């Protein structure tokens, strides 16, 4: 296994099996990955600003998708750059990477994607590449990240599907392409099982998952988040995605995930997390905490309601933390790990976390 400094993606399998159903990236915003060719002639900063805005507004959402969108933006920016020197090109990309990292604070896939590209670009600079060669290097690093990410999701589908057996009722929360891939792979393998999806208030990403799965012919039911305890005794497995995984094995995912984990623990229901290795947060090895994004109260109540009830503070945390002891297994493209053991994979993939900058 390679031990490179690039975060997470460096040692992914080069060619995992292709998607069994030809739809490796289920999700509402899949088309956003391919930046239309018109964007390639946009000014570099405006490509990055468009992507920043789309991630911030959640037009592009989900940890894997935003990581690939950032790589797409850096690629388009490198192609459109008018930089005359290698130093200038890297300086531009560094500023743009900083901007993209700020779009959402919790999903570590975003800085991991940007860092992968920028660390490679800096190596090219140190190796005295000329401007055009450096531009080509950046483009290939971006393509590489996107391809490895897509392959990782497919591999998680293959590995995770082994955990689904006939007769299962699988509960999931929010909309994770890693989880969806597991379910679709199991379905393609002709396994007979049902899926229950929580609505995932306040943004209702669970509806996206339910709609995708139902369109693919799976048996799906949708429940309000608050109904999870009522149904948990019927559930065989819970599978959720991750925005970040800390060195102590805690998983940060959509708000409500930790409640599901506690409820699953009470009924001894297995609780699995599906996550590509670029969801590992190397800075947590140095003691850093993962920031929990607070979003607008207007995702919870209307402006009118806020005006009529000025005494009420509305809080809208987007993610929560599930401690390792509530997690049975983390399913990555590199295999399955107990949450408490994920730190060993993290140390192998990110041997120098101190070189990774602020996030
Ligand atoms: C999405 C969410 C997903 C993870 C993993 O939150 O919490 O479970 O990002 O998704 P939001 P994936 O809708 O706020 O982005 O497996 O697709 O990376």
Q: How remote is the CA of residue 231 from the centroid of ligand 1, in Å?
A: 23
| Res 100 pLDDT > 80 | yes
The DSSP bridge pattern shows strands 237-240 and 270-274 to be parallel
Report residue 85: phi and psi, to 5°. -130, 155
Nearest Cα residue to atom 15 of ligand 1 = 62
- Structural domain span for residue 338: 157-355
Instruction: For residues 139 and 163, state if they share a domain.
Output: no
Tell me: do 231 and 163 sit in the same domain. yes
Per-residue pLDDT of 231-289, as tens digits, reads 999 999 999 999 999 999 999 999 999 999 999 999 999 999 999 999 999 999 999 99
- CATH number, domain of 101, equals 1.20.120.420
**With a 6 A CB cut-off, is 62 part of the ligand 1 pocket?**
yes
Q: Are 222 and 86 in contact (CB under 8 A)?
A: no
Q: Tens of pLDDT along 37-94?
A: 444 445 677 999 999 999 999 999 999 999 999 999 999 999 999 999 999 999 999 9
Which residue reads 């509960």 in tokens? 171
User: Catalytic residues, which ones?
Assistant: 174, 243
- Predicted confidence at residue 67, as pLDDT, reads 98
What's the order of all strands across the beta sheet hosting 251-254?
A: 244-245, 251-254, 319-322
pLDDT in tens, 107-147: 999 999 999 999 999 999 999 999 999 999 999 999 999 99
The answer to whether the CB of 279 is under 6 A from ligand 1 is no
Q: Are 87 and 124 within one domain?
A: yes
The confidence score (pLDDT) of residue 144 equals 98
* Cα 341 to averaged position of ligand 1 atoms, centre (Å): 23
Given 97, 131, 155, the domain boundary residue is 155
State the CATH number of the domain containing residue 210: 3.40.50.10470
Nearest CA to ligand 1 atom 3: 176
Asked if 207 and 150 sit in the same domain, the reply is no
User: Considering the chain, what percentage of its residues have pLDDT values greater than 70?
Assistant: 87
Return the residue whose CA atom lies nearest to atom 1 of ligand 1: 62
Q: Within this chain, do residues 120 and 142 fall inside the same structural domain, yes or no?
A: yes
Q: Are 138 and 106 in contact (CB under 8 A)?
A: no
146-193 pLDDT, tens digit per residue, is 999 999 999 999 999 999 999 999 999 999 999 999 999 999 999 999
Compute, in angstroms, the gap from residue 207 CA to the centroid of ligand 1: 13
C-alpha of residue 185 to centroid of ligand 1, in Å: 19
Mark whether 141 and 165 lie in a shared domain. Answer: no
Domain count within the chain: 2
Is 16 domain-assigned?
no
């Amino acid at each position: 296994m390679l031990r490179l400094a690039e975060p997470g993606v460096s040692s992914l399998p080069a060619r995992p099996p292709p998607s069994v159903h030809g739809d490796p990236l289920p999700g509402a915003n899949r088309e956003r990955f391919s930046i239309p060719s018109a964007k390639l002639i946009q000014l570099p900063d405006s490509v990055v600003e468009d992507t920043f805005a789309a991630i911030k507004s959640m037009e592009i959402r989900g940890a894997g998708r935003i990581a690939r969108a950032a790589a797409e933006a850096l690629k388009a920016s490198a192609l459109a750059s008018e930089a005359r020197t290698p130093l200038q090109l890297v300086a531009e990309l560094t500023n743009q990477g900083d901007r993209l990292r700020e779009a959402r604070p919790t999903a570590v896939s975003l800085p991991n994607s940007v860092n992968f590209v920028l660390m490679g670009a800096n190596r090219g600079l140190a190796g005295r590449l000329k401007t055009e060669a450096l531009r080509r290097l950046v483009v290939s690093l971006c393509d590489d990240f996107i391809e490895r990410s897509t392959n990782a999701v497919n591999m998680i589908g293959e590995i995770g599907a082994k955990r689904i057996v006939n007769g299962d009722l699988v509960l999931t929360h929010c909309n994770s392409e890693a989880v969806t891939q597991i379910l679709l792979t199991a379905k393609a393998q002709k396994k007979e099982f049902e899926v229950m999806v929580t609505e995932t208030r306040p943004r209702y990403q669970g509806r996206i998952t339910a709609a995708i799965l139902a369109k693919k012919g799976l048996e799906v039911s949708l429940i309000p988040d608050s109904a999870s305890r009522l149904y948990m005794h019927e559930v065989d497995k819970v599978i959720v995605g991750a925005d970040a995984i800390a060195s102590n094995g805690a998983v940060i995912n959509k708000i409500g995930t930790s409640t599901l984990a506690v409820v699953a623990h009470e009924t001894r229901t297995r609780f699995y997390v599906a996550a590509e290795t670029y969801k590992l947060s190397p800075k947590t090895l140095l003691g850093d905490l993962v920031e929990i994004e607070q979003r607008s109260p207007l995702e919870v109540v209307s402006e009118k309601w806020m005006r009529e009830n000025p005494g009420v503070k509305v809080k809208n945390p987007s993610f929560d933390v599930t401690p390792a002891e509530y997690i049975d297994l983390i399913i990555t493209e590199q295999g399955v790990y107990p949450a408490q053991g994920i730190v060993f994979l993290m140390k192998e993939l990110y041997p120098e976390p101190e070189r990774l900058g602020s996030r």
